[in-house]
Amino acid sequence: MTISRRRFIAISAAAMGVGMRAQASTWRGVAMGADVSITLHANEADADHILALAISRIRQLENEFSLYLTQSRISALNDTGKSVNTLDFNALLNEANEIYNYTNGLFDPTIQPLWRAYADDPNLPADAQQQALLRVGWQHVENTAKHVRFARAGMAMTLNGIAQGFITDQISALLATHGYDDAIVNIGEYRAGARAAQIAVAGTDDIVTLKNAALATSTPTALMLNGDTTHILHPRYGAIPSVWKTVTVAAKRASIADGVSTALCLTPDLRLAQKLIENGVIQRCLLVDNNGKLTTLAG
C-alpha cells in the first residue's frame, strides 16, 4: 500500500505574513511525501543561493528519514534491524525519545509493524494484531552515537510523525544562520521565525499567530487502513477509535508540535495536553472532536 503522505496538514497560510514586505522569494516542492514551501521575506541577491542550500539540506535529510526512499537510512534499518548512526539520525531519535517520555509512550515510532499488518490485511484478526504488537516498543530500540539497532526481531520504525517537524526546524535554523531569521518554513509543519505569521487552522475560526514557534496538525482519518481503522495507531492497544477529528499543537519546536499532535490523537483525556502546556512543552492545543466541537487549551 502506498500513500502520498502520512498525515493531512489541516493548516492554511492564507493570512500569513503580518507586516510582510511586498517582495518575497518562495520555493514550493514536495518532501517526505508532503507539499512543502519556504518563504524568505527579502529581496537580497543571494536568496536563490540560500534556497538552493535549503533544498539540498532537505534532500539530505530525506535520505535519512523517508520511508518512501528504499535506499534511505530508515529503510535500511527496517530491512536489517541495525544501522550505522549519523549525527542527524541520532539527533532525531533523541528527540523522539524526548517526546515518547513527554507523552507517556503514546508517541512511539516503532508502531510500523502494526501499521504494515493493517496495510497488508484490512481485516486483520485480533490474534494477528497481538502478534504485531509484540514487535512494537520504543524501549527495545538501542540508539547510540555510533549505531542504532532493534533488540527484537521483526521490529520496524516510522519517523513520519516527527521527521517533518525535525526537518522544518533544521531548515529554519539553516536559514537563520544565513541571516534569514524571519523565514516561514513548511516542511509538512509550519514554523515562523522572528517575523510574526498568522496561520489559519482549517475547520475552525481560529487564527494562530506564530513568532519563533511552530504549528502542526494531525488528522486520524486522513488515511483509513480499513473502514474503521485510522492510520494513527495506539502502541499498546493497536487500532482504537479517536474522538478527535483534528489535533493542532503550537510549540517552540516543530518536532515537538509534530510528535505531540500525533500522540494526543490517541487519548480523549485532556489532562495530558494540559500538563504539557503547564510544563512549557507546548504552547497551545486546539482539538476538534468528531462532532465539530472545538476545545482550545493555552497557557
pLDDT tens-digit profile of 27-73? 999 998 889 999 997 656 678 889 999 999 999 999 999 999 999 99
Between 8 and 113, the higher pLDDT residue: 113
Domain that holds residue 206: 1-210
Residue 196 has pLDDT above 80, yes or no: yes
Residue 39 lies in a domain: yes
Q: How many domains does the chain have?
A: 1
Residue 254 lies in a domain: no
Cα–Cα distance for residue pair 109/92, rounded to 1 Å: 11
Q: Which three cell numbers stand for residue 131?
A: 502478534
Task: List the single range of 27-36, 114-123, 178-187 with lowest mean pLDDT.
Answer: 114-123
Distances (CA, A) of 20 to 23, 25, 157, 199, 250: 8, 12, 40, 14, 21
* Sequence-distant (≥ 6) Cβ neighbours of residue 30 within 8 angstroms: 36
Between 46 and 296, the higher pLDDT residue: 296
Q: In the chain, what percentage of residues exceed pLDDT 90?
A: 74
Contact by Cβ (8 Å): 160, 32: yes
* Sequence-distant (≥ 6) Cβ neighbours of residue 137 within 8 angstroms: 108, 110, 152, 155, 235
Residue 246 lies in a domain: no
Most confident of 14-18, 46-50, 67-71, 205-209: 67-71
Residue 262 has pLDDT above 90, yes or no: yes
Q: Which residues pair with 251 in a beta bridge?
A: 214
Residue 270 lies in a domain: no
Q: Give the pTM.
A: 0.90
Query: Given this model, what pLDDT does residue 17 score?
Result: 39
Task: List the single range of 68-82, 125-139, 210-224, 266-280 with lowest mean pLDDT.
Answer: 210-224
Residue 87 lies in a domain: yes
Confidence of residue 26 (pLDDT cuts 50, 70, 90): confident
Between 5 and 193, the higher pLDDT residue: 193
Confidence of residue 83 (pLDDT cuts 50, 70, 90): very high
Residue 283 lies in a domain: no
* pLDDT (average), residues 189-203: 89
Query: Given this model, what pLDDT does residue 166 score?
Result: 98
β 141-143/197-201 pair status:
unpaired
Between 123 and 195, the higher pLDDT residue: 195
Residue 232 lies in a domain: no
Contact by Cβ (8 Å): 135, 104: no
Q: Which three cell numbers stand for residue 13?
A: 497560510
Give me the CATH number covering residue 159. Answer: 3.10.520.10
Residue 272 lies in a domain: no
Contact by Cβ (8 Å): 89, 67: no
